[in-house]
Every structure is written in structure tokens, then in C-alpha cells.
Amino acid sequence: MMEYKGYIGKVEFDDEANIFHGEVINLRDIVTFQGETVAEIRKAFIDSMDDYLEFCEERGESPEKPYSGKFMVRVEPELHKAVAMHAKMDHKSLNAWVHDTLASATV
């Protein structure tokens, strides 16, 4: 994976075509890139992102942000209650408890 200005590029290698190809994975818009070497794929990623950002600017649109830090999760009421109880027992807000639990699960 590669990162540029907060955008993440996932790269794969196509053995038959002997080429690297990638896609920006933290956008709903589709931004792709390719190259034959690591240096080329890195440059293609940066160039593609710069083109995307320039295109958004030309259209007067704000580029999609990589992540806002907010997301909504729907769970059944029993799980909601159990999570809220765990948060209370840990003397944390529901948000803080979920944050800490997700952070420890992704280490």
C-alpha cells in the first residue's frame, strides 16, 4: 500500500502482463494507476491523485475526503445494550469504549 495526501493506493502485480496496477481504496470515486516498476507505480499513483484533485478543483467540487472519522453502525438492540453496559462498567462514554475496543482489535 502507498499513501499520498491521506489517500491510500492498493497495488497488485499482474504476472501475465508483467505490470503493477493499483487503485485508490479510500474513495468512492474510481482512481486507478499502473506502472512497470516500483518507481513508475509510485509516480503514477501521485500523478493520478494530483489529476483527481485538479479535476475536482476545475469542476468547483470539493474532493472526497479520505475519511471523516465518523461512521454509523447498526446493531440489534441486545448488542447495543450490552455494549452500553460494558462502557458504563469501564466508566467510559459509548463512543470512547467503541473507539478503544476497535483500536485494540486493529493492532
3-22: average pLDDT: 95
The rounded mean pLDDT for the chain is 93
16-37: average pLDDT: 94
DSSP E strands, the chain = 2-4, 7-14, 19-24, 32-35
Q: Which residues, 6 or more positions from 15, have their beta carbon under 8 angstroms from its beta carbon?
A: none
Q: Which residues, 6 or more positions from 36, have their beta carbon under 8 angstroms from its beta carbon?
A: 18, 19, 20
pLDDT, residue 71, reads 84
Of 23-27, 43-47, 61-65, 85-89, which gets the smallest average pLDDT?
61-65
Q: Please report, for the chain, the start and end positions of each structural domain, with discontinuous segments joined by +.
A: 2-58, 72-107
Does the pLDDT of residue 82 top 90, yes or no?
yes
Does the pLDDT of residue 68 top 80, yes or no?
no
The pLDDT confidence band at residue 41, using thresholds 50, 70 and 90, is very high
Does the pLDDT of residue 96 top 90, yes or no?
yes
C-alpha cell at 84: 452500553
Closest to 8 in 3D by CA, of 36, 35, 45, 37:
45
pLDDT, residue 60, reads 94
